[in-house]
C-alpha cells in the first residue's frame, strides 16, 4: 500500500460563473507521504480541498480515492466515511460540547446508520480510542471542558484529534498553523508527523514555508490553479518559476 495512489486528481476544472478558479489540475498524493501544497493566495488550494471533500462541484475532471472510488459521485458525509478527513482553516470544533464529546462524535463505528451509531455509543472501543487520542493530542487534562473554552491552539489540536479518531486514508489539513505561536507550531508539526502512516496520505496546505519544509516529504506548488512544480522542498526553493510566482522576484 505505501507508495500507492491515495488521491488522484485528473484534469480538474472549477469555475464559479465566469471566474475560473482551477483551469485544469492533475495531481497525485501517495500513501505514506506527507504532501505539502503551497502557492500564493488565489492559487486554488482551498478550492482543491473543497472539491475533494465534496463541498464544491467541479465543471469537469476526475477525482479518485484509492484509485477506484469516484469522489465526485459521493456526498460530503459519504466522502468522509470513504476515508477523507479534513481540517478546516479556521478551527472547527463543536463549542458547546466537551473535548471528550467532540472526539466521541468523530468516531464512526457504524458508518451505515446514525441510529445504529447512537445506539452503540457506549461501545468500549469508543472510550478506549478517545483515551488514546486525548493522550496523543495532549488534551487529556481538559477532556471535560467545553471545546468553546479552549485556547486557539488547543482547538486546532482537538480538531486534529478528531481527524485521528476518523482514521482517514486521506487527511487534508488547511493551514494548520495559521495564527499559532512558535511553540504551538512546533507542537503541531510534531502532531502532523505522527499522523503519518503507511496506509495514509497527508495533504498539508500551508503558507508557512518553514513549517512545510519541516514536515513534508514532497511539495506541489500551485499557481493560478495549475501545478508549476512538484518535488522536494529544497528543489522548490531553488526552482526559478517557483521563486518568480511565489517566493518573490
Partner 1 sequence: MAANDATGRVERPGLFRAVAAMMAAIAVALPVLGGPLAAGPAGISPYFANIVGQIATFALLAIALDLIWGYAGILSLGHGLFFAFGGYLVAMHMLKAGYAYNGVTPDVMTFMGWTELPAHWWGFESAPYALLLILLLPGLLAFGYGYFSFRSRVAGVYFAIITQALTYVAMLLMFRNDTGFGGNNGMTGFSTLLGFDVGAQATVVGLATVSVLVTLGVYLACGRLMRSPFGRILIAIRDDEDRLRFLGYDTLWPKLAVWTLSAVIAAIAGALYVPQVGIINPKLLSPELSIEIAVWVALGGRGALAGAVIGASLISALKFWLTGFAPDLWPFILAGVVLAIVTTLPNGLLDLRLPSLRARTARAAVAHAGARAGARAGARAGARAGARAGARAAARAGEPAAETGQGG
Partner 2 sequence: MARRFAAILSLLCLLVPGGAAALDRAAILTEICSGDFRAQQTALESLAGAGAEAGREGALWARAVVQGFEGRDLRCGADAAFIDRSDGLVSAETLEPASPGGDLSAPSVNLRLRATAASAGFVLALFTEESAEARLRAAGRLDRRREAVSAAVLTAALETETDPAVAQAIGDIRTSLLLRDADPARRAEAIAAIAADATLRNRTTIAEALANEPDPAVQAAGKAALAEIDRTLAIGNALATLYSGASYASVLVLAALGLAIIFGLMGVINLAQGELIMVGAYATWFTQEAIRIVLPAALDWYLFIAIPVSFAAAALVGIAIEATVIRRLYDRPLMTLLATWAISLLLINAVRVGIGTQNLEFHQPGYVSGGFPVVGDFIMTSNRLFAIAIAAAAFFAVLALIRFTTLGMNMRAVTQNRAMAGAAGVDTRQTDRLAFGLGSGLAGLAGLALSPLYNVNPTMGTGFIVDSFMVVVLGGVGSLAGAVVAAFGIGQINVAIEPVYGAVAAKVIVLLLVILFIQRRPEGLFAPKGRR
- C-alpha cell, 198: 503507511
Q: Is the backbone of residue 202 left (phi > 0), alpha (psi -120 to 50) or beta?
A: beta
Q: Does 138 bind partner 1 (CB under 8 A)?
A: no
Q: Does 152 bind partner 1 (CB under 8 A)?
A: yes
Contact 160, 191 (CB under 8 A): yes
Q: Does 17 bind partner 2 (CB under 8 A)?
A: yes
Distances (CA, A) of 248 to 42, 135, 227, 232, 244: 16, 41, 17, 19, 5
Q: Does 208 bind partner 1 (CB under 8 A)?
A: no
Q: Per CB under 8 A, which of residues 43..102 are in contact with partner 2?
A: 47
Min CB(17)–partner 2 separation in Å: 3
Q: Does 141 bind partner 2 (CB under 8 A)?
A: no
Q: Does 26 bind partner 1 (CB under 8 A)?
A: no
| Collapsed DSSP state (helix, strand, coil) of residue 71 | helix
Contact 31, 201 (CB under 8 A): yes
Q: Does 19 bind partner 2 (CB under 8 A)?
A: yes
Contact 159, 106 (CB under 8 A): no
Q: Rounded to an integer, what distance in angstroms lies between the CA atom of residue 81 and that of residue 167?
A: 10
Q: Rounded to an integer, what distance in angstroms lies between the CA atom of residue 89 and that of residue 87?
A: 7
Q: Rounded to an integer, what distance in angstroms lies between the CA atom of residue 25 and that of residue 34?
A: 19
Question: Which residue has 493530542 as its cell numbers?
Answer: 137
Q: Does 16 bind partner 1 (CB under 8 A)?
A: no
In the list 9, 21, 63, 99, the residue contacting partner 2 (rule: CB under 8 A) is: 21
Segment near partner 1 (CB under 8 A), from 15-23, 56-64, 106-114, 210-218? 106-114
Quick note: the x/- pattern for partner 1 over 86-105, rule CB under 8 A, is x-x-xxxxxxxx---x--xx
Q: Does 205 bind partner 2 (CB under 8 A)?
A: no
Interface residues with partner 2 (CB under 8 A) are 16-19, 21, 47
Interface residues with partner 1 (CB under 8 A) are 53, 55, 75-78, 80-81, 85-86, 88, 90-97, 101, 104-106, 108, 111, 114-115, 117-118, 121, 146, 148-153, 155, 162, 166, 179, 181
Amino acid at each position: 500500500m505505501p507508495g500507492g495512489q491515495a488521491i488522484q486528481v485528473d484534469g480538474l476544472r472549477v469555475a464559479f460563473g465566469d471566474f475560473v478558479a482551477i483551469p485544469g489540475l492533475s495531481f497525485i498524493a501517495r500513501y505514506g507521504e506527507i504532501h505539502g501544497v503551497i502557492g500564493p493566495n488565489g492559487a486554488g488550494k482551498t478550492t482543491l480541498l473543497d472539491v475533494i471533500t465534496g463541498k464544491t462541484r467541479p465543471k469537469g475532471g476526475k477525482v479518485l480515492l484509492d484509485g477506484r472510488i469516484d469522489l465526485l459521485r459521493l456526498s460530503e458525509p459519504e466522502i468522509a466515511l470513504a476515508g477523507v478527513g479534513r481540517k478546516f482553516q479556521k478551527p472547527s470544533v463543536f463549542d458547546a460540547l466537551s473535548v471528550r464529546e467532540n472526539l466521541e462524535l468523530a468516531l464512526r463505528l457504524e458508518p451505515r446508520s446514525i441510529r445504529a451509531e447512537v445506539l452503540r455509543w457506549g461501545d468500549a472501543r469508543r472510550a478506549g480510542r478517545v483515551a488514546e487520542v486525548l493522550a496523543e493530542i495532549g488534551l487529556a487534562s481538559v477532556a471535560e471542558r467545553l471545546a468553546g473554552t479552549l485556547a486557539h491552539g488547543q482547538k486546532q489540536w482537538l480538531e486534529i484529534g478528531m481527524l485521528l479518531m476518523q482514521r482517514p486514508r486521506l487527511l487534508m489539513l488547511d493551514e494548520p498553523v495559521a495564527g499559532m505561536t512558535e511553540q504551538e507550531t512546533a507542537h503541531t508539526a510534531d502532531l502532523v508527523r505522527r499522523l503519518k502512516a503507511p496506509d495514509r496520505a497527508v495533504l498539508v496546505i500551508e503558507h508557512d514555508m518553514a513549517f512545510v519544509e519541516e514536515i513534508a516529504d514532497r511539495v506541489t506548488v500551485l499557481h493560478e490553479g495549475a501545478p508549476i512544480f512538484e518535488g522536494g522542498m529544497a528543489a522548490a526553493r531553488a526552482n526559478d518559476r517557483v521563486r518568480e510566482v511565489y517566493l518573490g522576484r
